[in-house]
């Protein structure tokens, strides 16, 4: 598979803060790729360097095989970017905003008008196409922001936390739009701290912490390589652990967060039967669930994604 983004040993410092620390990343073309990490991990800074608005202190970045520091315009013409903050003009309607962006990309009629209509339909903006942006809900504004970034039919679409703060229905709708774009051949690079989003949407994820990539693979490969597919969670203070688990084959991996332990195994049936035998009154509530990327993140960094860096 061709590589569309190549980030090599890139670092970026803001004063005393090392935001990105020797980060290396290869993004294959045609997939949905997620940068996954808590607030402050360096995701936005990495994206900004990839589309050429922030310069790395050291390292190199190639997009479409082009060195972004040498020829940012050639790269940007083929990119679409949606930032965490919406960039649309508040006094104008979605349709008018799309016209302004279309002019910026030097599109001409009839392609120009056709593209605007296509994007209004694609992002379900028709009912609010002529309403000033300042009157639109957050969900509509985000959809408009994505429509704007698609105006030039980008080969690579960069989305910084596309669904943060949106309600579940809007998130679902956006996920399906992102899948359609990928199916049409675009590469999508997004950041998120939502596990479900990364797991459902991304073909590959890079787990970012402290400005570094800790691991990169498909979500299911990460789970298998780092933990195991099934998880059992229960409350069990450290002093009770030895008694509860004596006589059972220990699970391949375990994590402790305070008095809670999470056990990971290929098949948790034996483990559950054992715990039930030791605990005949069923006092301990067991949660049995598939292992997810949050578990992997915890195992790799010792920190929770929601809790921040």
Ligand X SMILES: Nc1ncnc2c1ncn2[C@@H]1O[C@H](COP(=O)(O)OP(=O)(O)O)[C@@H](O)[C@H]1O
Q: Residue 44, interface with Mg ion (CB under 5 A)?
A: yes
Rg over CA atoms, the chain: 23
Q: Using CB under 6 A, which of the segments 39-47, 236-244, 246-254, 296-304 binds ligand X?
A: 39-47
Task: Answer yes or no: are the C-beta atoms of 50 and 61 closer than 8 Å.
Answer: yes
Q: Residue 42, interface with ligand X (CB under 6 A)?
A: yes
Q: Residue 104, interface with ligand X (CB under 6 A)?
A: no
Distant-in-sequence, close-in-space partners of 170: CB < 8 Å, separation ≥ 6: 139, 142, 143, 163
What mask, x for binding ligand X by CB under 6 A, covers residues 158 to 197?
Answer: ----------------------------------------
Distant-in-sequence, close-in-space partners of 220: CB < 8 Å, separation ≥ 6: none
φ, ψ (nearest 5 deg) of residue 171: -60, -45
Half-sphere exposure of 264 (CA within 13 A, CB side): 21
Q: How far is the CB of 220 from ligand X (least distance, A)?
A: 24
| Greatest alpha-carbon span in the chain | 76
- What residues does 166 pair with on adjacent strands? none
Measured in residues, the chain has a length of: 309
Q: Using CB under 6 A, which of the segments 13-21, 128-136, 249-257, 281-289 binds ligand X?
A: 13-21
Q: Using CB under 6 A, which of the segments 11-19, 145-153, 168-176, 219-227 binds ligand X?
A: 11-19
For ligand X, give the closer residue by CB, 56 or 251: 56
Task: Answer yes or no: are the C-beta atoms of 17 and 29 closer than 8 Å.
Answer: no
Nearest-CB residue for Mg ion: 44
Best CA proximity match to 189, nearest among 200, 199, 204, 174: 204
Q: Residue 45 binds which entry of ligand X, Mg ion, none, with Cβ cut-offs from 5 to 8 Å by kind?
A: ligand X
Residues that contact ligand X, how many (by CB under 6 A): 11
Q: How far is the CB of 38 from ligand X (least distance, A)?
A: 7
Alpha helices in 107-194 (DSSP H): 111-122, 138-149, 168-183
The Cα 12–Cα 25 span in angstroms is: 15
By the 10 Å C-beta count (0-12 exposed, 13-18 middle, 19+ buried), 150 is classed as buried
Q: Residue 39, interface with ligand X (CB under 6 A)?
A: yes
What mask, x for binding ligand X by CB under 6 A, covers residues 224 to 253?
Answer: ------------------------------
Q: Using CB under 6 A, which of the segments 36-44, 71-79, 93-101, 236-244 binds ligand X?
A: 36-44
Task: Answer yes or no: are the C-beta atoms of 170 and 163 closer than 8 Å.
Answer: yes
Q: Residue 14, interface with ligand X (CB under 6 A)?
A: yes
Residues that contact Mg ion, how many (by CB under 5 A): 2
Q: How far is the CB of 258 from ligand X (least distance, A)?
A: 26
Q: How far is the CB of 49 from Mg ion (least distance, A)?
A: 13
Q: Report the interface residues with ligand X, using CB under 6 A.
A: 14, 17, 19, 37, 39-45
Q: Report the interface residues with Mg ion, using CB under 5 A.
A: 43-44
């Amino acid at each position: 598979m061709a590589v569309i983004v190549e980030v090599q040993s890139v670092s970026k410092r803001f004063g005393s803060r090392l935001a990105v620390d020797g980060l290396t990343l290869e993004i294959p073309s045609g997939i949905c790729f997620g940068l996954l990490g808590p607030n402050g991990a360096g995701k936005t800074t990495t994206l900004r360097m990839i589309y050429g608005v922030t310069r790395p202190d050291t390292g190199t970045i190639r997009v479409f095989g082009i060195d972004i520091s040498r020829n940012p315009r050639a790269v940007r013409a083929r990119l679409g970017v949606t930032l965490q903050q919406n960039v649309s003009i508040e006094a104008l309607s979605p349709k008018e905003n799309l016209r302004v962006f279309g002019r910026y990309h030097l599109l001409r009629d009839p392609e120009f008008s056709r593209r605007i209509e296509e994007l209004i339909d694609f992002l379900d903006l028709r009912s609010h196409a002529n309403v000033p942006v300042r009157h639109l809900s957050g969900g509509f504004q985000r959809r408009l922001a994505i429509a704007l970034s698609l105006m030039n039919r980008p080969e690579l679409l960069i989305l910084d936390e596309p669904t943060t703060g949106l309600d579940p229905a809007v998130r679902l709708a956006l996920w399906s739009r992102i899948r359609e774009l990928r199916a049409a051949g675009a590469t999508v690079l997004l950041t998120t701290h939502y596990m479900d989003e990364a797991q459902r949407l991304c073909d590959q994820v890079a787990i970012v912490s402290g400005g570094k990539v800790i691991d990169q693979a498909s979500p299911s490969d990460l789970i298998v390589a780092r933990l195991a597919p099934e998880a059992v969670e229960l409350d069990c203070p450290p002093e009770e652990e030895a008694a509860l688990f004596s006589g059972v084959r220990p699970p391949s991996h375990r994590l402790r967060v305070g008095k809670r332990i999470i056990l990971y195994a290929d098949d948790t049936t034996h483990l559950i039967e054992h715990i039930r035998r030791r605990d005949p009154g069923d006092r301990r509530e067991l949660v049995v669930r598939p292992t997810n990327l949050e578990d992997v993140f915890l195992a790799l960094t010792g920190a929770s994604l929601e809790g921040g860096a």
